[in-house]
Amino acid sequence: MDSQEVGAMLEECHRAVSAAGLVVVEPTEEAKLNFQRYRESLSVELSMLLQEAVAMRWPFVPEKWQYKQSVTSQDKVNLKDFISLHLPQLLGLLKASILAREPQWAAGVVFLIDRFLYWTDESSRLLKITKLLHRHYPGTPIAPQLVIRQARVYLNDGKLQKAEYILSSLINTSGATGCWIYQSDSDRTLIQAVSVQVRGQVLQKLGLWLEAAELIWTSLVGYYALPQPDKKGIGTSLGILANILVSMNDGDFHAFKTNPGIDLVSTQSYPMKSLVF
């Protein structure tokens, strides 16, 4: 499915969800049947993944390798490749869900395809659909991943104040996002860690190197504090921190190393230690 086809399908979904808010009517039998046909056409693996998304099983769609110490060849298949293979089906199901007035399934599909469409530069269109789903169906849970995605898009677009507002809200409310129900405290810890990480990137853009480094360090502590450390998050934070450290002046670097809240002695397992010494 090329980018033009994806864009056209997203526009159809946007028009459908826009129309859904204009007139409150029951879906037609044809729309209901079409929704069922799309759901039944999914592979077992994709159907299970979508059901878990709708059930709020995780705040971020996880990669198979993300929380494993030992990675097998099967685990090395990235979600990007899996979603790319099934994207036409998923976009068809998104439109069918909207027309059948099944907002939870529509939000579940959006959740699954979000990361892939971010990589293909289509996040803005998908987030417009997400906002309309939330507006027309306020009782529908929207995944924290999508809320943070909006902050990332604002960051990339240079709208730092808007990104900061979203991230501060998530941090100050322990990740509360409307109707979303967390399955465990560790899921909240993960959202806090990612929110702090992206907020660190906002400060990095502003040239506030010391403050940015301290936030990225805090995100690392959060990732390592999870029952199963998040390798993806850790790797991302380490890369960001390395870039920040080489940009610091000597005064900021010394302040970072001597910050009593950054205990390098007790964190010998952190690869970060080698970046500082």
Query: Distance between CA 147 and CA 129 in Å, rounded?
Result: 13
**Same-domain pairing of 135 and 170:** no
pTM of the model: 0.89
**Per-residue pLDDT, 202:** 98
pLDDT digits over 2-12, tens only?
889 999 999 99
**Same-domain pairing of 243 and 110:** no
**Per-residue pLDDT, 62:** 86
Average of per-residue pLDDT across 82-106? 96
For residue 35, what are the domain limits? 1-141
**Per-residue pLDDT, 63:** 76
- Token pair, residue 60, equals 């971020």
Instruction: Decide: 155 and 198 in contact? Cβ < 8 Å.
Output: yes
State the total domains in the chain: 2
* Token pair 């293909």: residue: 120
- Final residue of a structural domain among 141, 160, 190: 141
